[in-house]
A and B are shown apart, each in its own frame.
Chain A
Amino acid sequence: MKKFLKLSFTAVIVILAVGSISSCKKNFDNPPAYVDPNLVANTTIKSLKALHQTSGAFDAVSTDIIISGIVVANDKSGNFYKEIYIQDATGAIALELDATNLYTAYAVGRTVFVKCNGLTLSDYHSFPQLGMKDNSVPGVPSLGGIPSTLISTYVFAGASGNAVPVTVVSNYAALNSSSGNAAMQDTLLGRLIRLDNYEFTKSNLSQTYADTSAYKNSINLTINNCSGNSLYVRSSGYANFAGLYPVAGNGSIYGIYTIYKASSSSTPDKQLIIRDTSDVQMTGARCNLFEEDFGALTTADNNTDFAFSGWKNIAPNSTANYKNSVFGTTGKVVKVTAFGTALATDTAWLITPAIVIPAGATPKFSFTTSYQFALGPTALHAFISTNYNGSNTPGTATWTQLTTNTMIPGNTATNNSSSFSPFAGTGDIPLNAYAGQTVYIAWKYIGSVPLKTTNFEIDDIRITRQ
């Protein structure tokens, strides 16, 4: 037994000795973060783009051109697909790469060098791109991206964490307006720009950024500033924010500026493509103090009682209520009539929510109307009140009439035509007198059976700030 223990002890010692010599424990150091490679750009992005002069052509780069830029957009949110945008002091370009999840290697803020010898320049409906080769099939021109295994032969990642260059465009006119092939050389194309004092249109507020159905179509929303300049905000159905609604304020928006020319002769659409919803920083007050274009209505709402939140829709009986009307491809209005109410007289009220008019403002109020089966002299007028308390008995408040019959032609028409008249605007009605007060606007329709039953439609209600 003792001998056994002695021998076992020896054996254990021997094995431990052998073990300590032979053990190869692997401890792996973390590799260093990428630094800029030993490359120097010898061409600006603007000069590179100048090599491509004709829309639709595929221009191969066959000299040792090296460009460099900072990544300003990638596919992290899914809004971009198989491309990244790099920008230097002279401009920016879309780099087409045939791989997914590019954001992991090319985060926004990383420097990137591109050896362009062997790559091809082309454009997508006049928006310049740098890719691998002509991938067109007959009738569908297309620039193929660099195959994933070859990306590292042409594209070199440098240090990350650089400041991301933003171009502030304060003048809308600066957003290109060249025509023809010259449009492709505009230096703003592909850049990360910032526009200030823009807002999404009122009807866009009830629409998601992109199509959330199985088709996942891309959608153009529209933004405009208070001077009426507008451009599209285009988003892909594959973006992770596709199902979100745009914010309702007015303010700044960042995004990649692109153009889309449907055919060679048309003028290019101006588009902004956001990286994700943090690019939309619209927290200020909108251009208009108040607006309603009924864009939130859907086909299912047609002929139902109008019931937007905060509004009042008051009539002696339900037949006389203001109703939603959805027609054609874009028609969304409210309508009212006395016809069929079986009342001698009928007064129908449509009252807005409370509207705060800031002190010193010079607001202008306007809306449009259309009429049908005009049997005049039916009365539809707009009123304003400062002492209405939101009750169901508006008659107790003091209402000042704002419109005249000239502004609302349906009040005097008698043609009894079955087709609706074209929409006519009231023109601007100044509300300067109400600056600094909280007001309600109401439409009062007074009709009676059988003679005063003109059908009216109301749309595009607006109170501007000045």
Chain B
Amino acid sequence: MLKLKSTLLATLLFFAFAPAAFSQVKEKPVTDTTITEEVKESALDNIPVVSLDDNDGQDGSAQNISGQLNAGRNPFSDAANFHFSAVRFRIRGYDADLNSTYINGAPMESLDNGFTPYGQWGGLNDVLRSKESGLGMQSLKFSFGNIGGATSIDARASKQFKQTKISYSLSNRNYVHRFMITHSTGFNKKGWAFSFSGSRRWAEEGFTDGTYYDGWSFYTGIDKKFNSNHMLSFVVFGAPTENGRQGASTQEMDNIAGSNFYNPYWGYQNGKKRNASIAKTFQPVGILTHDWKITPKTSLLTAASYSLGNRSTTGLDWYNAPDPRPDYYRYLPSYEEEPVLAAQILNALQNDVNKRQINWDALYNANYANNQTIHNVNGVSGNDVSGRRSVYIVEERVVHTNKFNLNTTLNTSINSHIDFSAGASYESQRNNYYKKVNDLLGGAFYVDVNQFAERDYGVNSNATQNDVNKPNRILGTGDKFGYDYNINIQKATAWAQAVVKFSKLNFFVGVEHSYTQFWRVGYTRNGLYPDNSYGTSKRQDFYNYSAKAGVSYKLKSGNYFFINGSYLTKAPFFENAYLSVRTRDFVQGNLRSENIESVEGGYVLNSPRVRFRATGYYTKFRNQLNVITAYSDIDRTFVNYALSNIGKTHAGVELGVDVKLYKGLSLNAAAAIGRYYYDTRQNVVVTSDNNALVLPSNDPTIYSKNFRVATPQEAYTVGLNYRSPKYWFVNVNFNYFDQMWLGFDPLRRTAAAVDGLVPDSKEWRKVIDQTELPAQSTLDAFAGYSWLMNNRFKSLKKRTFMTFSLGVNNILNNTNIVTGGFEQLRFDYQHLNLDKFPPKLFYAYGLNFSANIGLRF
């Protein structure tokens, strides 16, 4: 499986990473700036992974929003990645699949959705500091790049500082304690370098009620320098983590609970808080890298990586039983029309925490009392099983991933004017999706059956079986059920780029071709789609290409104008191709690649006193696809909305400035002003999990034009830093966010949704208009001090530092910042009552801090 392809031995001198005048290369950090980075990184590391699923059908796209790890040392990226992260700001409004990340030359993004899985290396900040990155479409040496930018992290053992570091942090965010230890040796005389890092992050309860955190991380790196031309590096790292999650809820429920941080996922069991939704992940990665300096002007970096592991989420599942979720809309006062009763319900919820949270006792007792006999178990006639049949269980939805990559990059200087880069890669990923019984909650068994089909087709129909090959299966703890299928994805890419440099003018041009293929293999024969669920599906394949070019003109050293443009096609992700991937292999009708065209231009000024960057960009997306699955109250089953013809326009301006005012005092400011909106009328095809009929929809057009992409579209920050020559620093920033919009429910913007309403009337607008969230502001402050202990403890042989730092975010404790959420994909067509299914919202933490103490020697 791990194919050791490279047998060429070479060493590339570390300093061959000579910074070209126009690329943003990160210099070796000096001690005190490392503290700042550490403080900032520990904040980013500690922001929760929140999933935005409508909790009924989705697996939850666990997008870790900790952003790029300080992508570039330009004044805009610094601010954007750190000060804007609390509101889940996305640079240029792009989804995370438009940024690429490489570690030691191996591409890290998941082929599922293109996101970079930061969780795979959480807690390993110490060894991931050495990076090179580019924002936007500038030319890069390590990759063809992506329109949002790309980052290459060099985590090889020889790139780590030869030192030992021990640190401890205390905070009140996702986790409370973090203990980290790192040791690196640098090259020894025999050409070996070793590095090791480990960390432990944990919390009994995080910022939000009912969440806990339990994480470990480890990293080991070994380098061997064979001679000045060949170096071989091996790293293996992983971060097994388990944490209790928080869920979004409606404002009504938040008000009843008295807090915007109400978490519906937990409840008391025997006096202890128990969270029903626990996320577990452990996907270690091994990367073998060969660095070959073929000639002083030509180098070849080849990396092979392999990763495997599971990530899973638990949740409650129930069969013919009352909804166990405490914030189910029927349990709330708003469901009751009679005002006296509604007041009584409100009172009952406010006074009893067990009514606001999951009532575990009731779930167990329902299972204790449910004695039942299941007939014809496993399809064997007369095989009856009797006992306590659970009506509530905790299920665990698992994704098991195997991923293999091989990537090689060539860099050469043809002459003093022309640099040429090229690369090729092969990526292969196999995801196995299944769910299993995690806890029977006091019952003796559960049964593998589809209750929605039972209601529609009767108890005895084959349609109710999740697996016709094994009907009426009795499930114990740990048994798989419901669905079991693989998605296989393969991608091969080749690219080439030429950069031409003159004294004032530089330009580059690059092309990339790729071939992507994916297919589904089902291991269960679903009773509703017996001919389309079991076995191997048709393979979908896509040929894609991308071209980019740019010009920059240097005014004088450090100042230049630039303009870059790119046109590409992109294969769809399988999540957006399969209509209802758990039950069948049907794909969207017009499955095709999307088109992206983008252009950016700007001005960069780097002088000793002032660093300034201004960029304008315009990007257009066409023919995108998306599939959303949610539970429909009207049809009382899971419904899939397959959207196509999605088009978006993103345009805006990014400004960043860093000015040294006086001695150690400097001013930083950044602004991101953008307009991101959908510019087509999308098409929708609605199917339900219970049958393959297209649900009646007279006009399947979604009137989505000019709806905003849900991300803050304007963000500003201004701050002051003071860096003292006595090795301490202080920084205060004020941030302001505006034009924040909530994602919209496509079905509410159809002709059917406003049928009968007068166009442009108040009611009509109420249904159609998108929810804008109010503008928000926050205040952050950081301070740190680095103490050279040798001055006091003369006996110390090596330079020993002790560092202290404190970072406080949202000092003003603004608890009204909606960072995200979703309109519920349920709409009350009967009464057109928008308040029946109000949006579910996530809020940013109130005042949160992180205090660090570290020892370095």
Given contacts A99-B322, A148-B331, contact A12 B459 (CB under 8 A): no
Q: Which of the segments B196-204, B741-749, B848-856 contacts the partner chain?
A: B196-204
A18–B180 CA distance with the chains assembled, in angstroms: 10
In the complex, whether A132 has a CB less than 8 A from a CB of chain B is yes
In the complex, whether A8 has a CB less than 8 A from a CB of chain B is yes
Task: Give, as a whole number of angstroms, the nearest-CB distance from A19 to chain B.
Answer: 6
In the complex, whether A101 has a CB less than 8 A from a CB of chain B is yes
A224–B656 CA distance with the chains assembled, in angstroms: 90
Residues of B within 8 A of A243 (CB): 458
Task: Give, as a whole number of angstroms, the nearest-CB distance from B457 to chain A.
Answer: 12
A334–B192 CA distance with the chains assembled, in angstroms: 103
Which residues of A (1-23) have their CB < 8 Å from a CB of B? 1, 3-4, 7-8, 11-12, 14-15, 18-19, 22-23
A105–B320 CA distance with the chains assembled, in angstroms: 12
In the complex, whether A215 has a CB less than 8 A from a CB of chain B is no
A236–B484 CA distance with the chains assembled, in angstroms: 37
Which residues of A (393-418) have their CB < 8 Å from a CB of B? none
In the complex, whether B795 has a CB less than 8 A from a CB of chain A is no
Secondary structure dominating the interface of B? mixed
Task: Give, as a whole number of angstroms, the nearest-CB distance from B185 to chain A.
Answer: 5
For B695-708 the 0/1 string (1 means CB < 8 A from A) is 00000000000000
Chain B residues with a Cβ closer than 8 Å to the other chain, count: 50
For A101-115 the 0/1 string (1 means CB < 8 A from B) is 111110100100000
Tell whether, in the assembled complex, residue B331 and residue A149 are in contact, meaning their CB atoms are under 8 Å apart.
yes
A118–B349 CA distance with the chains assembled, in angstroms: 18
In the complex, whether B183 has a CB less than 8 A from a CB of chain A is yes
Which of A26, A100, A101, A243 is the most central at the interface, judged by chain B CB atoms within 10 Å of its CB?
Answer: A26
Tell whether, in the assembled complex, residue B200 and residue A105 are in contact, meaning their CB atoms are under 8 Å apart.
no
In the complex, whether A271 has a CB less than 8 A from a CB of chain B is no
Residue of A nearest to B392 (CB): A104
Tell whether, in the assembled complex, residue A31 and residue B360 are in contact, meaning their CB atoms are under 8 Å apart.
yes
Tell whether, in the assembled complex, residue B202 and residue A34 are in contact, meaning their CB atoms are under 8 Å apart.
no
Tell whether, in the assembled complex, residue B331 and residue A133 are in contact, meaning their CB atoms are under 8 Å apart.
no
Given contacts A4-B194, A150-B344, contact A101 B320 (CB under 8 A): yes
In the complex, whether A30 has a CB less than 8 A from a CB of chain B is yes
Which residues of B (169-190) have their CB < 8 Å from a CB of A? 177, 179, 181, 183, 185, 188
Task: Give, as a whole number of angstroms, the nearest-CB distance from A387 to chain B.
Answer: 43
Tell whether, in the assembled complex, residue A160 and residue B344 are in contact, meaning their CB atoms are under 8 Å apart.
no
Tell whether, in the assembled complex, residue B183 and residue A4 are in contact, meaning their CB atoms are under 8 Å apart.
yes
Identify B369's interface contact among A15, A107, A153, CB under 8 A. A107
Residues of B within 8 A of A147 (CB): 335-336, 341, 345
Residues of A within 8 A of B368 (CB): 33, 160
Tell whether, in the assembled complex, residue B185 and residue A30 are in contact, meaning their CB atoms are under 8 Å apart.
no
Residues of A within 8 A of B362 (CB): 105
In the complex, whether B726 has a CB less than 8 A from a CB of chain A is no
Tell whether, in the assembled complex, residue B164 and residue A7 are in contact, meaning their CB atoms are under 8 Å apart.
yes
A107–B366 CA distance with the chains assembled, in angstroms: 8
Task: Give, as a whole number of angstroms, the nearest-CB distance from A104 to chain B.
Answer: 4
Which of B198, B331, B355 is the most central at the interface, judged by chain A CB atoms within 10 Å of its CB?
Answer: B198
Identify B370's interface contact among A22, A107, A144, CB under 8 A. A107
Residues of B within 8 A of A133 (CB): 338, 341
Residues of A within 8 A of B341 (CB): 132-133, 147, 150
For B341-383 the 0/1 string (1 means CB < 8 A from A) is 1001100110000010000111011101110000000000000
Task: Give, as a whole number of angstroms, the nearest-CB distance from B219 to chain A.
Answer: 11
For A32-55 the 0/1 string (1 means CB < 8 A from B) is 011000000000000000000000
Given contacts A24-B204, A28-B274, A99-B322, contact A15 B365 (CB under 8 A): no
A192–B27 CA distance with the chains assembled, in angstroms: 85
Residues of A within 8 A of B177 (CB): 22
Residues of B within 8 A of A34 (CB): 361, 365
Tell whether, in the assembled complex, residue A110 and residue B198 are in contact, meaning their CB atoms are under 8 Å apart.
no
In the complex, whether A240 has a CB less than 8 A from a CB of chain B is yes
Residues of A within 8 A of B320 (CB): 101, 104
Which residues of B (247-289) have their CB < 8 Å from a CB of A? 269-270, 272, 274
A450–B379 CA distance with the chains assembled, in angstroms: 64
Task: Give, as a whole number of angstroms, the nearest-CB distance from B391 to chain A.
Answer: 5
In the complex, whether B321 has a CB less than 8 A from a CB of chain A is yes
Tell whether, in the assembled complex, residue B345 and residue A149 are in contact, meaning their CB atoms are under 8 Å apart.
yes
Residues of A within 8 A of B192 (CB): 1
Given contacts A24-B204, A148-B330, contact A11 B365 (CB under 8 A): no
In the complex, whether A157 has a CB less than 8 A from a CB of chain B is yes
A28–B181 CA distance with the chains assembled, in angstroms: 33
Tell whether, in the assembled complex, residue B270 and residue A105 are in contact, meaning their CB atoms are under 8 Å apart.
no
Task: Give, as a whole number of angstroms, the nearest-CB distance from A13 to chain B.
Answer: 11
Residue of A nearest to B176 (CB): A22
Task: Give, as a whole number of angstroms, the nearest-CB distance from B184 to chain A.
Answer: 9
Residues of A within 8 A of B391 (CB): 101, 104
Task: Give, as a whole number of angstroms, the nearest-CB distance from B358 to chain A.
Answer: 12
Task: Give, as a whole number of angstroms, the nearest-CB distance from B367 to chain A.
Answer: 8
Tell whether, in the assembled complex, residue A15 and residue B183 are in contact, meaning their CB atoms are under 8 Å apart.
no
Residues of B within 8 A of A14 (CB): 181
Residue of B nearest to A161 (CB): B369
A100–B198 CA distance with the chains assembled, in angstroms: 51
A4–B366 CA distance with the chains assembled, in angstroms: 57
In the complex, whether B216 has a CB less than 8 A from a CB of chain A is yes
Residues of B within 8 A of A4 (CB): 183, 185, 194, 196
For A136-158 the 0/1 string (1 means CB < 8 A from B) is 00000000100111101100010
Given contacts A29-B270, A104-B369, contact A149 B355 (CB under 8 A): yes
Identify B202's interface contact among A24, A26, A102, A103, CB under 8 A. A24
Residues of B within 8 A of A23 (CB): 202, 214
Task: Give, as a whole number of angstroms, the nearest-CB distance from A203 to chain B.
Answer: 25
For B433-458 the 0/1 string (1 means CB < 8 A from A) is 00000000010000000000000001
A103–B320 CA distance with the chains assembled, in angstroms: 9
A18–B214 CA distance with the chains assembled, in angstroms: 12
In the complex, whether B212 has a CB less than 8 A from a CB of chain A is yes
Given contacts A149-B355, A240-B459, contact A24 B270 (CB under 8 A): no
Residues of A within 8 A of B366 (CB): 104-105
Tell whether, in the assembled complex, residue A104 and residue B322 are in contact, meaning their CB atoms are under 8 Å apart.
yes
Task: Give, as a whole number of angstroms, the nearest-CB distance from A145 to chain B.
Answer: 11
Task: Give, as a whole number of angstroms, the nearest-CB distance from B220 to chain A.
Answer: 8
Tell whether, in the assembled complex, residue B365 and residue A105 are in contact, meaning their CB atoms are under 8 Å apart.
yes
A104–B365 CA distance with the chains assembled, in angstroms: 8
Task: Give, as a whole number of angstroms, the nearest-CB distance from A160 to chain B.
Answer: 5
Tell whether, in the assembled complex, residue B200 and residue A15 are in contact, meaning their CB atoms are under 8 Å apart.
yes
A114–B332 CA distance with the chains assembled, in angstroms: 22
Tell whether, in the assembled complex, residue B322 and residue A19 are in contact, meaning their CB atoms are under 8 Å apart.
no
Tell whether, in the assembled complex, residue A149 and residue B196 are in contact, meaning their CB atoms are under 8 Å apart.
no
Tell whether, in the assembled complex, residue A24 and residue B355 are in contact, meaning their CB atoms are under 8 Å apart.
no
Tell whether, in the assembled complex, residue A33 and residue B365 are in contact, meaning their CB atoms are under 8 Å apart.
yes
Residue of A nearest to B177 (CB): A22
Residues of B within 8 A of A8 (CB): 183, 196
Residues of A within 8 A of B355 (CB): 149, 152
Residues of B within 8 A of A22 (CB): 177, 200, 202
A1–B188 CA distance with the chains assembled, in angstroms: 8
Which of A11, A30, A104 is the most central at the interface, judged by chain B CB atoms within 10 Å of its CB?
Answer: A104
Task: Give, as a whole number of angstroms, the nearest-CB distance from A440 to chain B.
Answer: 38
A-B contact pairs, 21 of them (CB 8 A): A4-B183, A4-B194, A7-B164, A15-B179, A28-B270, A31-B269, A31-B364, A33-B364, A33-B365, A99-B322, A101-B320, A101-B321, A101-B322, A104-B320, A104-B370, A105-B322, A133-B341, A148-B330, A149-B355, A160-B368, A160-B369
List residues of chain B with CB under 8 Å of any chain A CB: 164, 177, 179, 181, 183, 185, 188, 192, 194, 196, 198-200, 202, 204, 212, 214, 216, 269-270, 272, 274, 320-322, 330-332, 335-336, 338, 341, 344-345, 348-349, 355, 360-362, 364-366, 368-370, 391, 442, 458-459
Sorted from nearest, which 6 A-B pairs have the closest CB atoms?
A: A104-B366, A107-B369, A104-B321, A31-B361, A149-B331, A4-B194
Kindly list 10 other residue pairs between chains A and B, CB separation below 8 angstroms, not including A4-B183, A15-B198, A24-B214: A15-B200, A31-B270, A33-B364, A104-B320, A104-B321, A107-B370, A133-B338, A148-B330, A152-B355, A160-B368
